[in-house]
Chain A
Amino acid sequence: MTTAPLDKSSPLKRSLSDRAGLSHTAVFWIVFCLVMAALIAAPLILSEFWRRLLTEILIWGLLAMSSDLLIGYTGMVSFGHSAFFGLGMYGAAGALLLVNPPNLWLAILAGLAGAAGAALFVAYFSTRLRDIYFAITTLIFSQIFYVIIFTWTSVTGGENGLIFTRPHLAIPFLYNARFTSTTMHWFVLAIVAASYLVLRRVTQSPFGMVLQSIRENEPRTRAIGYRVERFKMVAVMLSGLFAGLAGALYAIQNEFAAPDFVYFLTSGETVIYNVMGGVGTLVGPIVGAGFFHLMREFLSRLFGDQFPYLIPLGIIFIVMIIFLPQGIMGFARRWLNE
């Protein structure tokens, strides 16, 4: 995968900081706070429908961001993120159904545990392989989980999935109330923002640098003395954990877990978000998810609910791969720089 140059000194930040005489970090935090402020204020302005959509976009963005760690930073295209997402979903669902009264944090922990299990399995087997072989095996692994979830009706509810009620938003000793769509949005936003900062820190850490060097030249990284397989395994695990977090959030927001989300299409859409938004940028995938879902909404308003929105979006996707491999963020960065 040809990716944008490393994120360390983005032209956008450089040109802005040169003009204002600020350091890169300061510009980053200013932009980050502005975006956060906009997203915090958004639910107060938007109607119920758009508020829900925005929350969902954030969740899909988290899923896409988690797979960007593999696609953009390690150079491994995963077609199996639906497994982690789905296991996160079913993990959260299990905790909410079994524990009484349902506990929000327990649900998230269970979701993470479920995704970690799946990620361990996938990481162990598929990191031996590279490039397209990795893509194909992750796809097939996600189908294994799909078949198991789909056919194990007594535990997973089979085709119908699981339905449960949303837990209270409970911060121990401080706050305990039902979720409203606004607090749900803030809760999701907080988790997504925290995940973004963690992932950004990871990609800038020595560990992240090794991942990027695997992407650039795997044999050389191995020759230098890094245990490439271990780094890849940890990368897949980490990516799977964040995908599972997204799954748990999705389950809590929508109060159900369904096998459809473990199906391969979810993985495919995750890859689409990444390519549309721009791989290797972390923010790009969120932008891509937003673009995808807004386009979908726009198309179904324009042509009706039955309109096969994936046809125009698929064509846009192909065109972007050919002409705009850096995605929206890469394009915006280049354009702002000129």
Chain B
Amino acid sequence: MGAIGQILHAIPVDLLIIQTVNGIVAGMILALVASGLTLIFGIMDVVNFAHGELFMLGAYLGFVVFVTTGSFWLALIGSSLIVAILGAAMQIVALRPLIGRDPLNTILATFGISLVLQNYALWQFGPVVRKIPEPIGSQFTLFYLQYPWYRILVAVLSAAIIGAFWLFLKYGKFGIWIRATAQDRTMAQAMGIPVPLVYTGVFAIGAAMAAASGVLFAPMVGVSHTMGLDWILKAFIVVVVGGMGNFVGSIAAAIFISLVESYAAIWLDPSQAVIVSFVILIMTLLFRPTGLFVTPR
């Protein structure tokens, strides 16, 4: 009895709850990034290596718009729109010629794009970390912490964007086109759906989602030119663990992995907590290679 009591006592309940909140907030941002990535893969078999760079560019553009207009919400919308246009241009210039070739070519081409974008950001903005202030400064008390409401808002907003996108896929005309193309692109084309336009549109939507999450994330840590790679790695892990091209699976995986990483951060250095998600990935590959949240056929 005493021993069990001691063990129970050793569990840091307050820390666990704080980290649960942190994990869910990070998980929602990650879900927003990963759902764009998985959407692009599911529709057109493109592994978008530049997705993290779109996230990073979104954050930088959000910073620029914020500095000129002073409004966070304008920054969020403006940056998403600009990155959507940029994404569409990227798709038309670099990915359209690669349609029909091995998907590995697209991973190489988007890797090239990510190099260009990352070095452009470094060249343009320099190595200094930029910061966007939080749009709402109020906080609430969570045990001994003053927890910013903004983080809760970020989680809610991310969920709202994902939810809106899901409704759009379900009921919107373009959304139905997207789903039709995902199921069978030849048939979709035969039915008169403009498949090339769908491709470009999907890439633009995915890019906008990455940019939106970049702007939402920017007040929490800051904007730097290297932030893209961290996120693309996480998003890759999420997409593989959730099942490549599986929209719901990747959202579940994003929250799951972020939670596990935040719990690990209680006992480990945050930079080492990343290894925990690597281990989850290895385990998934070994035992459920089609993804954790998919029933294997």
A interface list, Cβ under 8 A from B:
1-2, 77, 125-126, 128-129, 131-133, 135-137, 139-141, 143-144, 147-148, 150-151, 264, 268, 271-272, 275, 308, 310-311, 313-315, 317-318, 321-322, 325
Stretch touching chain A among B24-32, B74-82, B93-101: B93-101
A310 engages B119 (CB within 8 Å): yes
A126 vs B240: C-alpha distance when bound (angstroms): 13
Partner of A131, one of B94, B103, B118, B286: B103
Contacts of B286 in A (CB 8 A): 125, 128
Partner among B47, B115, B123, B229 whose Cβ is within 8 Å of the Cβ of A132:
B47
With known contacts A140-B237, A147-B271, A2–B116 Cβ distance under 8 A:
no
Q: Which of B131-139, B216-224, B274-282 contacts A (4 or more CB under 8 A)?
A: B274-282
Within 8 A of A (CB), among B45-63: 47
Query: B252 contacts the other chain (Cβ, under 8 Å)?
Result: no
Give the nearest-CB partner of B279 in chain A: A144
Q: Which of B107, B112, B272 contacts A318 (CB 8 A)?
A: B112
Task: Determine the chain B residues whose CB is within 8 A of the CB of A144 once the complex forms.
Answer: 275, 278
Instruction: Render B118-157 as a binary contact track against A, CB cut-off 8 A, 1 for contact.
Output: 1110110000000000000000000000000000000000
Select which of B101, B105, B123, B271 is within 8 A of A150 by beta carbon. B271
Q: In the complex, what distance in Å separates the CA atom of A126 from the CA atom of B285? A: 8
18 contacting pairs across A/B (C-beta < 8 A): A125-B282, A128-B289, A133-B289, A136-B47, A140-B236, A143-B233, A147-B274, A147-B275, A147-B278, A275-B108, A310-B115, A310-B118, A310-B119, A311-B123, A314-B119, A315-B116, A321-B108, A322-B98
Complex-state Cα separation, A133 to B240, whole angstroms: 8
Q: A129-B289, A268-B115 are in contact. Are A311 and B107 (CB under 8 A)?
A: no
In the assembled complex, which residues on chain B have CB atoms less than 8 Å from the CB atom of A125? Answer: 282, 285-286
Task: Contact check, B116 vs A140: say whether CB atoms are below 8 A apart.
Answer: no
Check A322/B281 contact, CB under 8 A, given A151-B272, A311-B120.
no
Looking at A126, A139, A308, the one whose CB has the most chain B CB atoms below 10 A away is A308
Nearest chain-B residue to A263 (Cβ)?
B229
B259-297 interface mask toward A, CB cutoff 8 Å, 1 = contact, 0 = none? 000000000010110110010011001100100000000
- Chain B: minimal CB distance from A41 (Å): 35
Report the minimum CB–CB distance from B239 to chain A (whole Å): 8
**Which residues of the partner chain B approach A143 to less than 8 Å between Cβ atoms?**
233, 274, 278
B111 contacts A322, C-beta separation under 8 Å = no
Given known contacts A132-B47, A137-B281, A150-B271, is B102 in contact with A310 (CB within 8 Å)?
no
Q: State how many angstroms separate the Cβ of B168 from the closest Cβ of chain A.
A: 27
A147-B272, A147-B275 given; name 10 further pairs at CB < 8 Å.
A2-B105, A128-B285, A131-B102, A139-B236, A150-B271, A314-B116, A315-B112, A318-B116, A321-B98, A322-B97
Whether the Cβ atoms of A151 and B123 lie closer than 8 Å is no
In the assembled complex, B205 has its CB within 8 A of some CB on chain A: no
A317 to B102, CA, bound (A): 17
Query: Would A129 and B285 count as touching, CB distance under 8 A?
Result: yes
Contacts of A137 in B (CB 8 A): 240, 281, 285
